[in-house]
Amino acid sequence: MSNDAFNWTCPHCERDVTISGANHSEGTHVLEYPNATGQPVSEFIVCPNRQCRKYTLRVAMFGTAVNRFHERVPDGKAFMSWRLVPWGASRNFPNYVPQAVREDYKEACAIVELSPKAAATLARRAVQGIVRDYWKIVKATLFPELKELATHVGRDITQETWDSIDVVRSVGNIGAHMEQDINIIVDVDPEEARLLIQLIETLVADTYVARRARQQHHAKLLALKNNKAAGKDATPTLPPPADVPDDTASE
């Protein structure tokens, strides 16, 4: 158990929380017999958010060192890691993001370390799904769709969002095979596959999530306007002043 508190984002509820020793446990499975892999370290965290309270389990592999007590201990930075619960490294997209996009994204995150090529294929399909659903651009392949999307900069897409797309589509084998059908397996390395996955997260945030935030803000303003109008109409009208007897009037 660790006594050092640290900031952490829960992969379940995606809240930024502070983790302390009360909800964090870390342990090393010591392999006394020398091996070619290293030392596994497990980490168990329970989210302190009362609406969540779910746990996360990670396992990482470290190199092996011998301390001054002649004990084998992990050394240096982890060279392999897995998040076992929840599996993969995906974020939880809201339900108003198309289901096909959410499924392709989650599967890409789950297999990116095992098969970067398959993950990249799923990620490209998710990107195309966003382009077709959100911007209503449908062409034969993703390449001409993005080419047309570039003409929408300043109208339907911000320069920052387009720059994110443009950077990723020009990287290594992603750019080299951009004109191919999205279902064709592209030979990419894990980092390129992760870039595609990060692009999906950026696009979802800049499109569906941003649009929902605008809609909610507009709805609040409209509700405020209606409440103000209703309150004004409901204000009781003061009766006219009562007639004051005229003492000078003739009887």
| Average pLDDT estimate for 92-114 | 93
pLDDT at 79: 76
Computed over every residue of the chain, the mean pLDDT equals: 84
Classify each residue of 160-182 as buried b or exposed e, where b means 16 or more C-beta atoms within 10 Å of its C-beta.
ebbebbeebbebeebeebbeeeb
- Do the domain assignments include residue 58? yes
164 and 211 fall within a common domain: yes
| Average pLDDT estimate for 122-151 | 94
| Average pLDDT estimate for 14-34 | 81
Residue 243 per-residue DSSP state: P
Tell whether pTM > 0.75: no
197, 175 in Cβ contact below 8 A?
A: no
pLDDT at 250: 41
135 and 146 fall within a common domain: yes
Residue type, 70: H
Q: How many domains is the chain partitioned into structurally?
A: 2
- Do the domain assignments include residue 244? no
| Average pLDDT estimate for 71-80 | 73
| Pick from 106, 124, 102: nearest CA to 204 | 102
pLDDT at 200: 97
pLDDT-derived band at 53 (thresholds 50, 70, 90) equals very high
Of 87, 106, 125, which residue is a domain's last?
87
